[in-house]
Every structure is written in structure tokens, then in C-alpha cells.
Structure 1
Amino acid sequence: MNGNEALNSAMRERGLTQVELADAVNVRLDASGNVGTVSDRTVRNWLTGKSRWPHFRQRLALEAVFGCTARALGFSPPGRRRPSSSEPESPVDRRNFLTAATATAAAVTPFVGAPPRVGTSDVIRLRSGLDALVVLDHSRGGHDGLERAALAGAAEALEKQKLGATQRIRQRLFSVAADYTATAAWSAIDARRMDRASQLLGRALYLAGMAKDPVAEMRVWNSYAMLAHHRGEYAEAVDAAYAAQGTAVARRQPLYSSLAHARTAVGHSNLGDAQAAIRSLGYAQEALGKVEMGEPAPSWIAFYGPAELLAMTAIVRHRIGDPAESEAASHSALSTIPKEFKRNRALATARLALAQLHQRDVDQACATASAVFNQMSGHPIPGRMRSLLGDYYRDLISLAPGATIAREWGDRYRSEWSRL
């Protein structure tokens, strides 16, 4: 028995489950003065082809829900005529039914059963735009244009959310809006616009709650931890990282758990708690070892894996006063960070330079730090990287104020400032 692919496709396009379609049809039936008795089993029979030609009033209700004929939905009448006692398909009856159903349903239930103007294809399109922004961030880093584009995407998702989609589609659009807003917030963090980032993260967390999306919620807490880190609010950074660990997705999926533990390690290292930091790194490594290759994940977390954990290990080791281990971790990270993650490679290079400098290898450190400018050639250097290079320059003139190489690097640093 062949299934009804046309109906199945129409349901997917509008984001309707079997239960939701049954409810929508029943609303139309009730609105026209008939008793709605359609169940999810009825819909299942339509989808499997067991029921090829629904009852007259059900067909009219289906046509009203989808805005097309029953035949266009994959239904076809039987080869022989039904008994004469069956309802005639009078054009007048059809017109009266549709008029009554539409008027009553619109007055009583403005969304349920109305022909949805937003469906799965809209969600997919908006997600694709979000993925494109993530790729831009990986290459160039945070900047005003990225933030504006992300906020425009969030606004579009929220506008679509108002247009009468099903509850499931509305939640998915809230999720898209949360991710766009979190992208804008991350751009602000990378550009070191901290107050703006805090405002946007609060909005993103609200939208993630409306979406009931633990992945978006985890993403926001991860960004909160980074925001607190860059503000020097290290205890708050640890608290936010623990909140990320506590999300449902971090408890279920090792990739998210690993990132949350790594973020916790950075927080502990900033507080000077070396033992807790190393312990958290161990948890992060253990969780990452449980991630299955090829496991699907949203584009925003594509940066995280063994290479990024090594880069974060370099930060932790540097903060707890172990520059040799920090240098080793940075070298390992740079050998594995994909080339398309241009900004992350430049950050890892800058941290490598700091580790070399703090071992008094001034010549090598300056050569490494100069490579950052070459890696970011063609793009303004984002604020977070600018701050890291500023830290390097301050330590350089403190540790080797009279060295020729230090003066030369300082000249290069100042000449690059116009595009920083």
C-alpha cells in the first residue's frame, strides 16, 4: 500500500505533526457546526494510504487548512460511486462550509488551523543565514557588520514567529532568534564591547527560554563565562561555566559537557586555583573522548574539538604559571586548528608568543607575535586580539625594555595600530 507523500510533504512544509493536523481539522469542523472527531490515528491512515478519500466534511476541512484541493493533497476518490445516501458534494455546500469555518475559526482561534504562512523551509533558510555568519566570524572575528547582520536575522525570525505558524515552528523560530542574538553578543565580546554583549546575552537567554532550547541556553552561558573572563570577573566566569555544565544538553552530550568543563578550567586558572583548573581540564578531555565522530552539531560549536581544547589548555597553563607547558599546548593547537579558523589560529599564535616571552625567549617571541599581523592580513584585528597583543607589548617592554628586537616589534605594533 503506497503512502500519501503529497500530504506528508504538505505537513512537513507547515511543521504540522499528526496530532496538530488532527486538531486543525477538528477546529474547522467545529467552526462549521460539525463535530470534530479526527484523531492522530485518522491522520496516520491518511498518510499510509489506508484511507484514500476522507469523508466529505473532512476533505473540506483539510482543504481549508492547507489552502488547496484534496486531490492536490494526494487523495483520490474510489473507482466506483458511493451509495446514494452519501453526502453530495454541492458547490454551495462547499462554499458555505469554507465560509463558516474560516469566519468562526478566525474569530475564535487566530492561529490553530489557519493556513500557516511560515513553515520548516523558513526555519531552514534562516538557519542557513546563521551558518554563513558563523563562517564569517571564524575568518574575520567580531565586528559591527557581523553584529548588525545577526540582529537583522534575529528580527526576521521573531517577525516570522508572529505570522501564524504552528507552536512547534514558533518555538523553532524562537530558537533561531536566540542563536542569532547569541551570535551578535559573541561578536560584541570579540570586539570587546562588553556592556553591549551583556545586554545581548540577556536577550538571548530569554529567547532560549521561550524556545525551550537547551543547546541555545548552553551557548549563552558559555558566552557569559567568556564575557566575565574578559571583564576580570573571574568568580562570575566560574559560576557561568557551572551553569553551562548544568544545562540539559551538557548533561546528555559529551561535546557540550567538554566545552563547559574547559570553560570552567579557564575560570579556575584565573582565580589561581591550579588544582581545580587541571581537574576541570581532565573532565573536558574525558568528555571529549566520548564524542562520536560525525555526530551532528550546530555550526556555532564547530570551533570546539581537540585543537580548541589544546588552545584553552595553553591559556590555563599560562595562567597558573607554567609557560613551558603553555608553549607546548599552543604548538600542538596550531598544528591541528583548521586553516579556515583564521581568527582562532591568530589568537593561539599570540598566546604562543606570550608563553615564549615569559620564558625570556624574546627574539622568538617577537617573531611569533609578528606572525599574528600576517595571519590577519586584509582584516581589522578584532578587539579581543588587540587586547591580547597589548598585553604582549606591555610585558615585552617590561621584560626587555632595551632590546633592539623589542623596539623593532614596538614600531611594527604601532604601525599596525591603524587597522587594529
Structure 2
Amino acid sequence: MEGNENLADAMHNLGFKQLELADAVNDRLRAQGYEGTVGDRTVRNWLAGKTRWPHRRQREALEALFACTAEELGFSPPARQRTSTSPEGPVNRRNFLTAAGNLSAAAAIPQAGAPPVVGTSDVLRLRSGLDALMALDDTQGGHEALERAALAGATEALAKQKLAATQRIRQRLYAVAADYTATAAWSALDARRCTRAQMLLSQAHYLAGMAQDSAVELRVWNSYAMLAHQQGRYGEAVDAAQAAQAATITRRDPLFASLAHARTAVGHSALGDRQSALRSLGCAQEALDKAQALPRPSWVAFYGSAELAAVTSIVRDRVGDFAEAEAASHQALSSIPTPFLRNRAMATTRLALAQLHQRDKDQACATASTVFSLMSGHPVPGRMRSLLGDFYRDLITLAPNARVAREWEDRYRSEWS
């Protein structure tokens, strides 16, 4: 028995998983006043070729979702339903397909007076918009336009959840709204607008609870830890990172556990707790070694071996292991993906700090200067400006009268003017 490759390809192109397609078909059926009885097993049978010709209402729902005929989706009607007359000419076939498409489209339109129904396809569309915002953040970092766009996405998701066909769809829309709000909070955090970030994180935390989505919950706690760190509340940063470790998703996916341990390590290093910081780093590496390639939310795409190396550089520098910090920065820069421009610039600044703390002033200034070239043409987020400010302060502290320090100071001031 051959599988239905046409349907599999169509699902892949629209980003449908089996259960998501089942939900989307059921949404279409309910919109027409019928019971939604399609389940994950039904879709498996379609894909495996066990069901060669679905029920008429299911076929119509599939045709409306994929904007093509059931035959084009790889289904074949029983022999008794096939015509014995001569093949249709191309014009007749075109007319039939057009009519079938029109009928499918008409079937997808709710009857007058019926409330609009929000289903899986709406969730997928909203998530694709979130993915686009995360790609923008990777290059430009946090800024007000990104924050506004994220909040608009959250507003739309919350408006649609009131019209959701099922409780499952409502929860997924809450999760999308929480992710959008957390993206807005991250944008404020990256811009070092702490008060704004605090308010948005509170909203995101509430929505994540409504969604019962532990991945979003972990994301919020991770951002809380970073916010507390920015504000110098290092004990709270450790507490928030440990709350992230307690999220359910860390027991299912070691990559999330690794991220939470890495954030805890940063907090311990800021408190000067060398032993705890290095122990958390070890836990982060151990968990990451167990992580497998799985579908994950786009916001966590930044995290992997390169980001853990960047975090290692921060921790090692804080606890006084400057040579190890430099080595970790080089490791991070060798593997940070090209689209993550902001992360690459941050890792470069960390490398410059590690070099400076080893009293290699000339090399440190040369390294730090490359950040301006990396971010040329892009807004420089407040978090990066602050880190470069740390480099400048350490430079004039260690070498207040050195010529290279004065030259870098001139470059630093001219770039920000």
C-alpha cells in the first residue's frame, strides 16, 4: 500500500502537523453545523493510503483548506464513481475544477448570521507573524517598532480567542498572545527600558498561565532573570532562573533545561559565587548534550552550543578566568549563525572585555571597534550600548593615559554622536 505523498507535501508546505490538520478540518465541519469527528488517526490513514477517498464533507473541508481538489491531494474515488465515458477535453476539465473550487470556497463561508469560527489555520497564521518578528530581532535587536508590532499580534490573538471553536484553540491562542507579549517585553529589555519590560513580562506571565504553556512560561522567567540582572538584583536573577528550571518543559526537552541552567550560572557569577556558577555551567552543558533536533518555538532558535559558549565567556570573565573567557568567546563567534547579527556583536564585545582584562589593550580596542562595523546600518540596542560602555569604563580604569584608550574613546563618542 502506497502512502499519499501529495497530501504529505501539501501539509508540509502549509506547516500542518497531523493533529493540526485534524483540528483544521474539524473547524471547517463545525462552521457548517456538522460534528467534527476527524482525529489524528484519521489523518494517519489518509497519509498511509488506507483511506483513499474520505467522506464528502471531509473532502470539501480539505479542498477548502488546501485550495485544490481531492484528486490533486492524492485521493482516488472508488471505481464505481468513475465515469466510463471518454476523457474530458482540457476546457471541460478546467471548467469542472473551477466549479469545484468555487463550491469549496462557498462551503467555507459561514451562513448569514452565524458567528465566525477561529481555528487551527488562524493559529498557524498568527505564529508565522511571530516567526517573522523573531527574525527581525535576530538582526536588529529590540526597538520600539518591533515592540509595537508584537503587541499588535498579541491584541489580534486575544480578540480571536473569544471566537475560538474549541477550548484547545482558545488555549493555543492564549499561548500565541503570551509569546507575542513576551517578544514585546524582550524588545524593551534589549533596549534597557526596564520599567516597560517589567510591565510586559507581568502580562506575558498571566497569559502563559492561561495558556498552560510551559515553554512560554520558561521564556518569561528567563527574561525576568535578565531584567533582574540589568537592575543589579542578582539574587532575584538567580531565583527567576531557578523558576525557569522548574518549568515542565525542562523535563521533556533538555535544551530548555540547558537554557535555564545557563541563565542561573550568569546570576551566580554576578554574585561572585564561583563554585555555583561553574556547577550550573556544567549542568547546562550536560543537558545540551542530551538535546535532540525537535520542532521548537522560534524564540528559542538563538540557543545552542554557540550561545552556551557566549554565556560561558560571561561567567568565566566574572569569576576571573579571563583566558578561559577569551577562548569561550572565540568558540561562540566561530559558530553563531550568520543571521544572529546582534548576538555576534554582543559576543565580540565580550571577547574584547576578556582581552582587556588580560591587559591586552591594543587587541581589545581593535576587537571592540569591529562591533561598529558589524552593526553598521542597524540600530544599536540599549543592551549593547551598555556593554560597550562597560568596556570603555574598564579601559579608562586600566589605562587612563594610554594613547590607544584615547583613540578608542574618540571612536566611541563619534559613533554614538
TM-score (norm 1): 0.76
1:146 maps to which residue? 146
> How far 1:165 sits from its partner (Å)?
2.5
> How far 1:311 sits from its partner (Å)?
0.3
Cα 1:52–1:350 change in 2 (3 A) is closer
Does the 8 A contact of 2:142 with 2:188 survive in 1?
yes
| SS in structure 1 at match of 2:330 | helix
Segments of 4+ moved more than 6 angstroms: 12-16, 38-41, 46-54
2:253 maps to which residue? 253
RMSD: 3.9
1:278 maps to which residue? 278
Distance 2:274 2:256 in 1: 23
Corresponding letter in the other structure for 2:339: E
Distance 1:39 1:387 in 2: 56
Cα 1:278–1:161 change in 2 (3 A) is same
Greater C-alpha radius of gyration: 1
Does the 8 A contact of 2:141 with 2:190 survive in 1?
yes
1:227 maps to which residue? 227
Say whether 1:186 aligns with 2:181: no
> How far 1:398 sits from its partner (Å)?
1.1
Distance 2:54 2:357 in 1: 77
1:82 maps to which residue? none
2:348 maps to which residue? 349
| SS in structure 2 at match of 1:155 | helix
Cα 1:318–1:170 change in 2 (3 A) is same
| SS in structure 2 at match of 1:289 | helix
1:243 maps to which residue? 243
Distance 2:237 2:134 in 1: 23
Say whether 1:336 aligns with 2:335: yes
1:32 maps to which residue? none
1:97 maps to which residue? none
| Number of residues of Structure 1 aligned to a counterpart in Structure 2 | 367
Q: Structure 2: give runs of 5+ residues left out of the alignment.
A: 12-17, 81-110
1:203 maps to which residue? 203
Say whether 1:302 aligns with 2:269: no
Q: Structure 1: give runs of 5+ residues left out of the alignment.
A: 30-35, 80-101, 107-113
2:94 maps to which residue? none
1:376 maps to which residue? 375
Corresponding letter in the other structure for 2:319: I
Does the 8 A contact of 1:266 with 1:277 survive in 2?
yes
Does the 8 A contact of 2:138 with 2:340 survive in 1?
yes
Distance 1:51 1:370 in 2: 65
After superposition, give the CA deviation of every residue in 1:170-208 in whole Å (9 maximum; x if it has no partner).
111111111111111001010000111111111111111
> How far 1:117 sits from its partner (Å)?
2.3
Corresponding letter in the other structure for 1:141: G
> How far 1:53 sits from its partner (Å)?
7.9
Distance 1:177 1:299 in 2: 14
Distance 1:369 1:52 in 2: 63
Distance 1:121 1:165 in 2: 12
1:361 maps to which residue? 360
2:407 maps to which residue? 408
| SS in structure 1 at match of 2:290 | coil
Corresponding letter in the other structure for 1:319: R
| SS in structure 2 at match of 1:142 | coil
2:92 maps to which residue? none
Cα 1:131–1:120 change in 2 (3 A) is same
Cα 1:53–1:295 change in 2 (3 A) is closer
1:132 maps to which residue? 132
Does the 8 A contact of 1:116 with 1:165 survive in 2?
no
Distance 1:238 1:339 in 2: 31
> How far 1:163 sits from its partner (Å)?
2.0
| SS in structure 2 at match of 1:377 | coil
Distance 1:147 1:267 in 2: 26
After superposition, give the CA deviation of every residue in 1:312-346 in whole Å (9 maximum; x if it has no partner).
00000111112111111111111111121100010
TM-score (norm 2): 0.77
Corresponding letter in the other structure for 2:280: S
Does the 8 A contact of 1:13 with 1:119 survive in 2?
no
Cα 1:273–1:118 change in 2 (3 A) is same
Does the 8 A contact of 1:185 with 1:197 survive in 2?
yes
Corresponding letter in the other structure for 1:344: N
Cα 1:119–1:357 change in 2 (3 A) is same
Does the 8 A contact of 1:14 with 1:166 survive in 2?
no
Say whether 1:390 aligns with 2:376: no
Corresponding letter in the other structure for 1:138: D
> How far 1:156 sits from its partner (Å)?
1.0
| SS in structure 2 at match of 1:177 | helix
Distance 2:210 2:350 in 1: 38
